[in-house]
Amino acid sequence: MQRLDKIIASTGKWSRREVKALIRQGRVLVDGIPARSAEDKTDPESAEITVNGEALVYRRYTWVMLNKPAGYLSATEDGRGPTVLDLLPPELKKQGLFPVGRLDKDTEGLLLLTNEGGLAHDLLSPRHHVEKVYYAQVAGRLTEEDCRAFASGMTLDDGLVCQSAGLEILSAGEESEAHVTLREGKFHQVKRMLAFRGKPVLYLERVRMGNLPLDPSLSRGDYRFLTPEELESLRSL
């Protein structure tokens, strides 16, 4: 059971002060009955709450899939430039969302945002080995020797130890394409591993996280909420 003003304000559309005004004006109904007070408690998952005649969509936690474009920082705020939260509408920006992991400023693709700290932490924890898959374009010809080096794990020139990773060559030539699969998430790891093999990254896009692929219908910069089925699949990891 939660206070009515807290439930309605959690959508990000109204402040608690605005909710109190709506209730005084009789514009908030709970199971068809006008609410009496902002302090009334109800179960947001079972009660039917309407505001101005429109049904309230309550989410205990919010999970958003964003198709991140280049040029945005994976942060909630940063004085160096726009962040991924700047791609969201005001009502979502008020919900305390944060990126689940990071993508470099120039890296595009799948980025999850949420206000559920526990599951976000579990998805990023090295002990759970949740796979992240990237599409990479590189300068130079990728070879089976590169694939074996990724599979064996490698220690970079700066001492960074990288665990076994997957490298699937999609095309090879003066420029090559590949899918890279990581089970950890160290700083600039994909770029650093490929650069160590003499194949610097020209373009990078995350296309999958765990069993959740980037929705192909999402244009760059667009977002959507995760479905209950997608969220359950993440919890199963």
List the catalytic residues: 104
The residue written with tokens 């949740």 in the block is: 130
The amino acid at residue 176 is S
Main-chain dihedrals φ then ψ at residue 233, nearest 5 degrees: -65, -35
Residue pair 4/42 in contact (Cβ under 8 Å)? The answer is yes
Residue 1 gets which letter from DSSP?
-
For the record, the structure tokens of 186 come out as 């160290």
Main-chain dihedrals φ then ψ at residue 89, nearest 5 degrees: -70, 160
Q: Which residues of 75-97 are buried (b: 16+ CB within 10 A; e: fewer)?
A: beeeeeeebbbebbeeebebbeb
The amino acid at residue 223 is Y
Query: DSSP states of 137-193 as a string?
Result: EEES---HHHHHHHHH-EE-TTS-EE---EEEEEE-SSEEEEEEEESS--TTHHHHH
Task: Give the C-alpha separation, 115 to 85, whole Å.
Answer: 12
